């Protein structure tokens, strides 16, 4: 998860903000940081109420029941996979700035797969 946050958020987000907001991108970054901080604070408060492991699945199960918990569990799993894939794609995009041949779809696919695989090695 740390790799996803560092790879996609810290390195990828500022360039997207600069492209869309121009000179207002530092303010946009601070507004987004405040929003993410509020969400992280809420999750930390909810997590402090439980001793069991389970994360968002557990919180949803206790609050809304089994059906909602299963949906939250699957969506949590899906977002982690998509975030890892986005970080791998961002890596290939940056690599293409140095090696333009990486932009070909087959090479890009192999590069993203390799980046994803390396990020999963422990």
Global confidence as pTM: 0.62
- The answer on pLDDT for 50 being more than 90 is no
- Distance between CA atoms of residues 72 and 17, nearest Å: 29
Calculate the average pLDDT of the chain.
Answer: 80
Residue 91 tokens, joined: 């890596």
Mean pLDDT is highest, among 12-21, 31-40, 83-92, for: 31-40
Of the pLDDT bands very low, low, confident and very high (cuts 50, 70, 90), residue 65 is: very high
């Amino acid at each position: 998860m740390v790799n996803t946050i560092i790879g996609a958020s810290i390195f990828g987000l500022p360039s997207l903000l600069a492209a869309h907001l121009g000179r207002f991108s530092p303010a946009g970054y601070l507004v987004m940081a405040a929003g993410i901080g509020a969400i992280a604070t809420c999750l930390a408060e909810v997590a402090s109420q439980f001793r069991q492991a389970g994360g968002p699945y557990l919180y949803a199960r206790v609050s809304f029941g089994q059906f909602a918990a299963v949906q939250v569990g699957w969506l949590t799993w899906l977002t982690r996979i998509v975030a890892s894939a986005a970080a791998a794609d961002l890596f290939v995009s940056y690599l293409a700035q140095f090696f333009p041949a990486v932009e070909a779809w087959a090479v890009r696919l192999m590069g993203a797969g390799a980046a994803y695989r390396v990020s999963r090695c422990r």
